[in-house]
Every structure is written in structure tokens, then in C-alpha cells.
Amino acid sequence: MLQMLIISLLLSILFLPLQPICWRMPIFRRWIPIRLFLGIVYGGFLFYVGLLDQSVAAIITAYLPILGLNLMIDNTLIFMFVKTFRKKQATMGAATGLLIIVGFGLFWLLQPFFLADAKFNMANGEEVTVEELNPVNEEYIPVVSRSYAEYRSDVLMGQLDNPAFYNLGDTRIQRVNDALYWITPIEYDGFFRWYRSSHAPGYIMVSAENPREEPEMVLTEMTYVPSAFFHENLERHVRSQYPDVLMLDTTFEIDGEGNPYYIVSYGHYTEFRRVADVDGVIIVDPATGETEQYEKEAVPEWVNRIYPPSIAEERNEWFGIYKQGMINRFFGREGLTEPTAWGAVDSVTGVVDADLKLNWFTDHMRLQNEDQEASRSMVGFTMFDARTGELHYFRDASGSLNGRTAMDLAERTFRRDDYVAGTPSLYNIYGQYTWIVPLMDKNDVLRQIMLVSARDENIYGYGETKREAFGAYQLEISSQSDEKVVPGEYTDMVEITAEIDRIYKWDKEDNVTIRFLLEGEDRIFTVNASSYPRALFLEPGDEVTISFMDTGEEVQAIEDLEQ
């Protein structure tokens, strides 16, 4: 805080007249205290209200136009009111100010056209194949959308003593002890509610894996939060202790014991405040205000994200449009892509890999003009590691359905119910690129979970629970796919020969589905008659040999059947 006051006072000198005659004449001298006051106010607004980092580049950007404007106004006024002032001298002073402003403006406008290579190199994307995308255990794949998590958190917040005092903060997905949760901090609802409250009450946890798991409100006193004011405002508290760092993003996370922390990603600009890079995080205890700074390599394991989604978004864009430089961006357009617009809060969405590490995911379509209809297929997709900043581009997904198409298909499937598709995510499921699309009603209540093959829009499955959705999808893959399903890490192929104990057949959407129990097996096996017509004639006591991907599900789809 002291450094901010000193810098504001020193830089307010640039608001004072630079022509000596202004200090000698009463008509100009009377305005000097007011101009000095305006300079102090301007500095306070920049550094205290705007939380601008107090770096050299930031100061030049904020004050150079002020210097130019000062020269122009002072010399023009002196020339108008002081007859003895030389015209040439006034013209030179005003021209210098104009040159500073115009030069700075041109630099600011034209500089981006020379940064294509720098931005592409900063994105540092690496092309990989599906072998690099290991399957994720079904148990840990998130199927609960952010909007549904926010809905459940909003309902639970009604249990507070004074719910009208608070709002929900930003809801973010994170790993907590090998499980995925949507975590939402509870924030103040404006200045007067902050003034009348001693602290924010805590946070809410909603399972991202199981929509039927009850949400939990954790009550814990939090004083330093983003919605607080003055010295209790979280970002202002951090800025007072770290005046020079570039604060990129603030998110709320909890550690393995459920203790709350705010994570402030910090970094620096290159290319004169045009290209941001991340250096590490500052972890803030919202109860005590204690802070600890970590460089990227030393950040504790429980912290899910070091790189914020805004960085992932812009680097995805740079990777797609700046291949082969700026000229190719506007004229050649060879090999250019752009992230698919989903209409979501973020252009990227959080997904986890096989190790439950958070990645920012988005799919890419070919670069299009503004008046063109959006592409229905993707040319690839990216995974941006939220801790390391590594960007992996999966080009072998080219020609598959993009996320927007998967959302449209899900909404068309439930047109009668008028369900709305949430943000989709892509996973390697049963060896296939698969879109997972949550479907909500108009009140943001989760109603269905739909899995859509990215290779074939006719292969999909859905259900009210994760198990139902995965079972239906596995059955569709086994019965409709022209290719043999490739088992993944969690889906080993198993062959069983046994007698049928019980069997049940029923018509389902113009197709007969057969389910049966085998001697010595607890699970239910299922197959479609369209894939194996002879299955219609199976009876108890018949011996069959079946092959299936062992997912451990109670209802197990069959890939191959021999009588």
C-alpha cells in the first residue's frame, strides 16, 4: 500500500505543466493544485481501484498518453492567452504532445500484426494421437454440468440464516481426494451486505460424477474474498503485498482436508503487455489473509489449476490461426483452425485425464468467415494441461462431430421434452472418441446424460443415471458399429462359455433386445436381435459363448455371441 501511494504521488508530477511560464503566471498557477490532485486521483484509480501492476511497462502504458495530452493542452492555452509567447515554441510543444499520442496509438494498433509468430510460439502446441489420450475410468468421468451444479448450490444456499446477504461465486470443477466436485464459494451480495456481515459463510460442494449425490454446504469463516471491499477485498489484499506481479486469475479451491483457499495465478507480459505468461500462484487463506507465493514447479499437488481458462482460450486461438504467420492468417489460410463456439461461459471446459489431472478442453473446426454457417465437424481437439500449460492437439479426430453438433443432436433427441444441452466434453470411452452431453430442463435440473460417438452420430446412448447412459451406449456400440470395438485400459475383452439360466426378450424402438442370466454369473448380459438374429431363439439351458468388454457394470453389453 505504501509503495502504491509513493508511486501515485511521484507520477502525479506528470499532470503538472512542463512550460515554466505556467508557474509564473497567476492564471495558470491557480490550477496547479487541482492538476496535482487529479494526478493523485488518477494514480489511486489505476493502482487501488483498477489493481494495475506497478511494472515499468504498465506505468508507461498508463502515463505516456497523459504526458502527450498535457503538452498539447498547455502549449495551446499559453499560445491563446499569452501574446508574448513565441508561436514557434508553442507549435513545437503541442506538436511534440501530438506526436507522442499519435505514435503511441499507432504502436498500440499496429503491434499485433507483428506478433503472430510470438503468439504461436507461446501456444507451443504439439500434435499427438489417440494413443496419448488414455481412457478414464467411468467412475471418474464428470457428467454433472456446471449449470446443474449452480442450481443445486442455489437451492442449498437457502438454508443460510440470511441468504439474501449472499450470492454464489464462480463454480469450478476440481479434484478432491480422487473424486471430482463442483466447488462454489459463497460471496457477499453488495457493499451493504458486506458492511453488515463479519465474514462470508463458506462454500458448497456438488459431485461432478454422481448427480444423485447430495450437495454439501461447508460452513467456515472467510474474510478475504473477491466480493469484499477495501482492505478485505481479496485481489486488493494480494496487490498490497505483491505490487509488481501481473494477477491473471482468481479461483477458489479446497485442499484434501476441505480447507478453503483462493488461488491467484500470477505472471508477466511479454511483447509490451500483449502476450501473458504464467509464473506461478499465490495461495491466500481467506480466514486470516495469510499468503504464500509458489513458482510453477513448486505448487502443491492439491492445487488443480495454475493456468486459468482465459490463457487456455487465447492460446488455442493463437495455435489455430497463426500457423505460418500473419500473412497466411488473412490470405493463404492454409491449415488454419478455430475453437468451436459452444455458447458456454468459457470457450474451454474442464476435463480430467486418466490420472484425474485437470485439462482445459476445446475442439477445433476449420477457420471460417463471419458470414459462413458454422461447421458441423471438427478438424481436431486440444487438451491444455491446467498445471503445466502444455497444449496437445489431437488431429486424428478430424472429420468427427464437433461439440456444437453433439449438443444439437442431444437436443433433437429430446425435442418433446424441450431439454437444453450443457457444455459437452470429449473422452476416450470403450476405445472410441465420445461426446458426453448433459441435458437439463428449463430450470437447469439435470434430466438425462447422453453419450454420442464422435465418429457416427447414429451411435448414442442415454439414461437418467451414469450407469444407464454408459450401458445404453455400450450396447449401441456393440450392435451398430461396423468396426470391432477396441478395448481400452479399463475395458478388457472377456470370453465366457456357459448355459443360459434365465432369459427375457422385449421390443424396444422397432428392435428386440434380449437379456439373460448365465449359470455362475451374477450380471445381466444383453444383446440386440438386429446384430444377432438367432438370439431370438435362445432358451434356458442353451450353451452360448459370449465376448464382451468387462466394464464391471451390472448390465453388460455383448460384442460377440456364438450358439
The CA distance from 392 to 128, in Å, is 6
> Please, are residues 245 and 281 in contact by the beta-carbon 8 Å criterion?
no
Please give the pLDDT value at position 514: 86
The CA distance from 262 to 448, in Å, is 33
> Please, are residues 554 and 472 in contact by the beta-carbon 8 Å criterion?
no
- pLDDT band of 3, cuts 50, 70, 90: confident
The CA distance from 454 to 299, in Å, is 36
> Please, are residues 326 and 339 in contact by the beta-carbon 8 Å criterion?
no
Please give the pLDDT value at position 89: 80
- Between 412 and 22, the higher pLDDT residue: 412
Task: Name the residue type at position 433.
Answer: Y
Give the least confident one: 26-30, 214-218, 314-318, 501-505. Answer: 26-30
> Please, are residues 517 and 529 in contact by the beta-carbon 8 Å criterion?
no
Helix ranges (DSSP H) in 451-499: 466-480
Domain ranges across the chain: 2-113, 122-129+310-370+378-399, 145-303, 403-480, 492-562
Considering only CA atoms, which of 49, 54, 389, 122 is closest in space to residue 274? 122
> Please, are residues 351 and 425 in contact by the beta-carbon 8 Å criterion?
yes
Average pLDDT value for residue range 195-202: 93
* Residues 319-371 pLDDT 10s: 999 988 888 887 777 888 888 876 655 678 888 888 888 999 998 988 876 66
Average pLDDT value for residue range 46-64: 92
Average pLDDT value for residue range 268-290: 94
Task: Please state the separation of Cα 222 from the chain's center in Å.
Answer: 25
* Residues 430-450 pLDDT 10s: 778 899 999 999 888 999 999
Average pLDDT value for residue range 59-77: 91
Question: What does the chain come to in residues?
Answer: 563
Relative to beta strand 391-394, strand 125-128 is parallel
Q: Is the pLDDT of residue 138 over 80?
A: no
- Between 171 and 563, the higher pLDDT residue: 171
Please give the pLDDT value at position 449: 94
Q: Is 170 exposed, middle or buried (0-12, 13-18, 19+ CB in 10 A)?
A: middle
Share of the chain above pLDDT 70, in %: 93
Q: How far is CA 315 from CA 238, 310, 346, 347, 506, in A?
A: 26, 9, 14, 11, 51
The CA distance from 475 to 468, in Å, is 11
The CA distance from 549 to 557, in Å, is 8
Helices (H) and strands (E) in the chain, counts: 14, 28
Please give the pLDDT value at position 372: 63
Average pLDDT value for residue range 9-35: 87
- Between 547 and 371, the higher pLDDT residue: 547
Please give the pLDDT value at position 552: 65
Relative to beta strand 400-401, strand 377-378 is antiparallel
Q: Is the pLDDT of residue 287 over 90?
A: yes
Please give the pLDDT value at position 110: 92
Q: Is the pLDDT of residue 479 over 70?
A: no
State which H helix or E strand residue 218 sits in.
strand 216-222
Most confident listed range (17-31, 184-198, 318-332)? 184-198
State which H helix or E strand residue 74 sits in.
helix 56-81
The CA distance from 297 to 277, in Å, is 14
CATH T-level topology, domain 492-562: OB fold (Dihydrolipoamide Acetyltransferase, E2P) (2.40.50)
Relative to beta strand 349-352, strand 358-366 is antiparallel
Query: 315 φ, ψ to 5°?
Result: -70, -30
Residue 182 DSSP SS3: strand
- pLDDT band of 291, cuts 50, 70, 90: very high
The CA distance from 281 to 419, in Å, is 39
The CA distance from 444 to 152, in Å, is 9
* Residues 460-476 pLDDT 10s: 999 888 888 888 888 78
- Between 397 and 57, the higher pLDDT residue: 57
Please give the pLDDT value at position 484: 47
Give the least confident one: 88-97, 102-111, 255-264. Answer: 88-97
Most confident listed range (1-10, 153-162, 394-403)? 153-162
Please give the pLDDT value at position 166: 94
Most confident listed range (137-141, 199-203, 335-339, 496-500)? 199-203
Query: 74 φ, ψ to 5°?
Result: -60, -50
C-alpha cell at 274: 500483449
The CA distance from 449 to 438, in Å, is 5
Please give the pLDDT value at position 490: 41
* Residues 126-136 pLDDT 10s: 988 877 777 77
Specify the long-range contacts of residues 21-25, CB closer than 8 Å, at least 24 apart.
21/78, 21/82, 21/85, 22/74, 22/78, 25/82
Residue 251 DSSP SS3: strand
- pLDDT band of 486, cuts 50, 70, 90: very low
- pLDDT band of 508, cuts 50, 70, 90: low
Listing DSSP states for 133-158 in one string gives SPPPPGGG-----HHHHHHHHHHHHT
- Between 428 and 167, the higher pLDDT residue: 167
